[in-house]
Structure 1
Amino acid sequence: MLVVAGRSTNRYQDLAVDTIPPNQRHNETLATRTSLQSKKPHRSPKKGTKQVARLQRRFYVASNSIAPTRHPRVNAAPTPQPPGPSSVSTTVHITSASDFTLLLPSRDGEYISEAKSDATAYCTNGSGCQNTFPAGFVTGATISEASDGSYIQASKITGCLDPGKFQFAQDDAGGQMDVRFPNGAKCTFGGYGASSIEQVEPSANRFCLRCCASANDQVNCNSHNDKAGCPVAVPGIYDFDGPD
């Protein structure tokens, strides 16, 4: 009787014998591994939702961006100039406490604040101008000048102007004249275009005038003090014991 041996139940027994020579075992393993890797299909790296959103935003900005508008450089505003040519009727001067000029309303009952367009020059008697102050109008004045020659001023003193001697509007609190008002106004001290300020305050019985040597002098001839009154706009003596 022929007896056939049954197949071993150990399924790993066929692998018990290593048929790869020892000296080629390492190389054969590397070759086999490399060939397997080369046959793997290509897979793109996975992108997270944050990365996808970031790329979408970049694409949207790049495709919808508008080049910024370049505006031309704007130069600084030029120094304000007087609105008209100088005129004898709008020119003031300061020579001494008895020889000076003020710009005053040219019409009876006209408020000083309304006379900026038609004010005219009045001067002390003997100054040579077309219009002179009425007798008794100026009751006191003093002159002071900057040591560096940057300005000269004539300050009218409290109680030294008699509003009843002139054609002021009743209860007129006053107003300011300067290099731009009235048209063509100037002071001979600085010449046409140089800064000057004048305030006349009938209700306070005072006036003040300062002429500066240069244009747009907002230190010595600060035109922004038009509502502050003479003691602020043109500091000086505003008190006399009696008529000058």
Structure 2
Amino acid sequence: MFLSFYLFIVLAHVLLAVAARSTNRYQGLRVDTIHADQRHNETLATRTSLQNKKPYRSKKTGAKQVARLQRRSRLLLNNTTQTRRPRVNAAPTPQPTGPSSVSTTVYINSVTDFALLLPSRDGEYISDAETDATAYCTNGSNCQNTFSADFITGAIISEASDGSYKQITGCLDPGKFHFAQDDAGGQMDSRFPNGAKCTFGGYGASFIEQVEPSANRFCLRCCASSDDQVNCNSHNDKAGCPVAVPGVYDFDGGVSCS
């Protein structure tokens, strides 16, 4: 009987040990496992923090990055150009400075029928006559003023193959006109003198004329279009006839401007 009681005591201790072990195992699981309500709240908190925090973006590389930088560069360049680009007004086409007048009209019909703009006052320099020069023509032509028959010692007319201009070049005897002594010459064009024009191009078309008494030569080129700075380059006013109006300045029979 004593042995039976002892066995009962041992069996009871075994059962209690097993029960304690089972309880500790489940208790460990409860400690490591998050309650359902706690999991839900923690998930909401995590989502909220991700929404508020700006996500990290890795740097773009390769072709996409190059294209992105090119687009940004173009935008910056366009903005800079639009901001800093100065306003540029188109240069107005040079026009005659006054109404057309017979006294300021030159023309080229032939070597014996043409007109030049020359000083209207005795001893006036051509450079000073750019504002008040008057048209003079060959003897027998239809104009108000004529120069003497032996004033022109040689002349030739030529035209551009495309019809863009017509010109006359030649030599003169400065002693046959009232030029200023040792006058190096000057230039007339569609802006000087007032209302000057050439009948070849019509009113408003381009022309250039240079008369150089000290070099014994003259030249006149009339262009068909307005402001023709290729064929009637008004910026060559100090370059002389051979540059401004390339042509013939030496003639048969020993006649030469030089």
**TM > 0.5 fold call:** yes
Per the alignment, do residues 24 and 81 of structure 1 end up closer, same or farther by CA in structure 2, a change over 3 Å counting?
farther
- Gap runs ≥5 in structure 1: 1-16, 46-67
Match of 1:172 in 2: 183
Distance 2:158 2:231 in 1: 13
1:121-163 deviations in whole A, cap 9, x for unaligned? 000011111100123211110111112211110001xxx3111
Partner of 1:25: 28
Corresponding residue number in structure 1 for 2:203? 192
Aligned residues: 197
List aligned pairs for 1:117-132, cutoff 5 A: 117-132=131-146
> What amino acid sits opposite 2:243 in the alignment?
V
- Compare the two structures and name the one with the higher helix fraction: 2
Partners of 2:153 and 2:231 lie apart in 1 by: 26
Q: Secondary structure at the match of 1:116?
A: helix
Q: Residue deviations 1:38-58, cap 9 Å, x none?
A: 8xxx9xx9xxxxxxxxxxxxx
Corresponding residue number in structure 2 for 1:215: 226
Matched residue type, 2:138: T
Alpha-carbon distance change, 107 to 242 in structure 1, aligned in 2, over 3 angstroms: same
| TM-score, L = length of structure 2 | 0.68
Is the Cα–Cα contact under 8 Å of residues 135 and 165 in structure 1 kept in the other structure? no
The Cα of 1:71 is off from its aligned counterpart by: 8.7
CA RMSD, aligned part only?
3.0
**Alignment partners' CA distance in 1, 2:85 and 2:255:** 63
Deviation at 1:73, TM superposition (A): 5.9
CA distance in 2, matches of 1:182, 1:230: 19
**C-alpha distance 21-100 of structure 1, shift in aligned 2 (>3 A):** same
Q: Spell out the pairing of 1:45-194 with structure 2 (5 A cutoff).
A: 74-156=88-170, 160-194=171-205
Q: Secondary structure at the match of 1:209?
A: strand
Once the two structures are TM-superposed, the CA of residue 116 in structure 1 deviates from its matched residue by 0.7
- Looking at CA atoms only, which structure, 1 or 2, has the larger radius of gyration? 2
Taking the aligned partners of 2:148 and 2:130, their CA distance within structure 1 comes to: 21
For residues 163 and 205 of structure 1, what CA distance do their matches in structure 2 show?
A: 6
Deviation at 1:114, TM superposition (A): 0.7
Counterparts of 2:211 and 2:27, CA distance in 1: 118
Change (3 A) 1:20 1:169: farther
Shift of 1:108: 1.0
Using the aligned pairs only, state the percent identity: 75
| Residue from 240, 244, 247 that aligns with 1:233 | 244
Q: Render the CA deviation track for 1:53-103: whole Å, top value 9, x for unaligned.
A: xxxxxxxxxxxxxxx979996552231211111100000010011110000
* TM-score normalised to structure 1 length: 0.72
Question: How far apart, in 2, do the equivalents of 1:164 and 1:18 lie?
Answer: 143
Q: Could you list the runs of 5+ residues in structure 2 that have no partner in the other structure?
A: 1-19, 43-48, 54-81
